[in-house]
Amino acid sequence: MDQVNPAGQHFFFGRGRKTMYEKIDSDLRKRIEDVVGTENLLSLPEELEDYGRDETPGLSARPEAAVRPGTAGEISALLKLANEYRFPVLARGGGTGVTGGAVPVHGGLVIGLERMNRVVEIDEKNMMAVVEAGVITENLHRAVEERGLFYPPDPASLDSCTLGGNLAEDAGGPRAVKYGVTRDYLTGVEAILPGGEIIDYGGKTVKNATGYNLLHLLIGSEGTLGIASRITARLLVKPEIRVDLLVPFPSYREAVEAVAAIQKRRLAPTAIEFMDRQCLEISRRVLQNPVPFDDAAAHLLIEVDGDEPGRVEKRYEAIGEICLEGGAADIRVADSPRYQEQIWETRRKLRDSIKTVSPVKVSQDVVVPRMEIAALLAGIEQIGKSRGVEIISYGHAGDGNVHVNFLKRDREEAGWREAVGKAVPELFQLAVRLGGTISGEHGIGFSKRDYLSLALNPAAIAAMRSIKRSLDPGNILNPGKIFPVDEGKK
Ligand X SMILES: Cc1cc2nc3c(=O)[nH]c(=O)nc-3n(C[C@H](O)[C@H](O)[C@H](O)COP(=O)(O)OP(=O)(O)OC[C@H]3O[C@@H](n4cnc5c(N)ncnc54)[C@H](O)[C@@H]3O)c2cc1C
Which spans of this chain sit near ligand X (rule: CB under 6 A)?
54-55, 90-98, 101-102, 113, 133, 155-157, 161-162, 164-166, 168-169, 171-173, 222-223, 227-228, 351, 441-442, 478, 481
Residue number, 79 or 128, with CB nearest to ligand X: 79
Q: How far apart are CA 238 and CA 89, in angstroms?
A: 38
The per-residue b/e assignment along 239-256, b for 16 or more CB within 10 angstroms, e otherwise, is eeebbbbbbbbeebbbbb
Complex with ligand X: residue 63 or 101, whichever CB lies closer: 101
Which of 328/405 has CB closer to ligand X? 405
Q: What residues are paired with 304 via a beta bridge?
A: 243
E strands of 118-270, at which residues? 119-123, 128-132, 149-150, 186-192, 198-202, 227-234, 236-237, 241-249
Q: Choose between 222 and 254: whose C-beta lies nearer to ligand X.
A: 222
CB of 364 to ligand X, least distance (A): 13
Which of 169/254 has CB closer to ligand X?
169
Residue nearest to ligand X (CB): 165
With contact defined as beta carbons under 8 Å apart, do 312 and 241 qualify? yes
Secondary structure element (H or E) that encloses residue 67, with its range: strand 65-67
Q: Check: CB of residue 365 under 8 Å from CB of residue 321.
A: no
Nearer to ligand X, 278 or 363 (CB): 363
| Cβ closest to ligand X, residue 165 vs residue 474 | 165
- CB of 269: closest distance to ligand X in angstroms? 16
Q: Which is nearer to ligand X, 320 or 443 (CB)?
A: 443
- Identify which of 369, 361, 400, 183 has the alpha carbon closest to the alpha carbon of residue 273: 400
- CB-nearer residue toward ligand X: 219 or 423: 219
Measured in whole angstroms, the distance separating CA 316 from the mean position of its chain's CA atoms is: 29
CB of 330 to ligand X, least distance (A): 27
Q: How far is the CB of 226 from ligand X (least distance, A)?
A: 6
Report how far residue 459's alpha carbon sits from residue 305's, in angstroms, rounded to the nearest whole number.
43
Smallest distance from ligand X to CB 348, Å: 7
Angle between helical axes of 277-287 and 337-348 (0-180°, round to 10):
110
| C-beta of 166 vs 278, nearer to ligand X | 166
Q: Which is nearer to ligand X, 361 or 387 (CB)?
A: 361
Smallest separation, CB 137 to ligand X (Å): 8
Q: Residue 323, Cα to own-chain centre: how many angstroms?
A: 30
Least distance in angstroms from the C-beta of 109 to ligand X: 12
> Which residues, listed in sequence order, are joined to residue 91 by a DSSP beta bridge?
111
Minimal distance, residue 297 CB to ligand X, in Å: 23
Nearer to ligand X, 56 or 322 (CB): 56
CB of 308 to ligand X, least distance (A): 28
465 CB-side CA count, 13 A: 16
How buried is 39 (Cβ within 10 angstroms: 0-12 exposed, 13-18 middle, 19+ buried)? exposed
Across 88-162, the runs of DSSP E, i.e. the strands, are: 89-92, 109-112, 119-123, 128-132, 149-150
**Given the complex with ligand X, which of 223 and 436 has the nearer CB atom?**
223
Sheet of 198-202, strand order = 119-123, 128-132, 227-234, 186-192, 198-202
CB 108, min distance to ligand X, A: 12
- Distance from chain centroid for Cα 336: 29
Q: Closest separation between CB of residue 480 and ligand X, Å?
A: 11
> Least CB distance from residue 311 to ligand X, whole Å?
27
- The distance of closest approach from Cβ of residue 160 to ligand X in the complex, given in angstroms and rounded to an integer, is 7
Long-range residue pairs from 71-75, CB within 8 A, at least 24 positions apart, any chain? 71/116, 71/229, 72/190, 72/192, 72/198, 72/229, 72/230, 73/198, 74/35, 74/36, 75/111, 75/192, 75/227, 75/229
Residue 406: alpha-carbon gap to chain centroid: 18
Residues contacting 56, CB < 8 A, separation 6+: 97, 98, 99, 100, 103, 445, 446, 447
Sign, CA torsion 208/209/210/214: positive
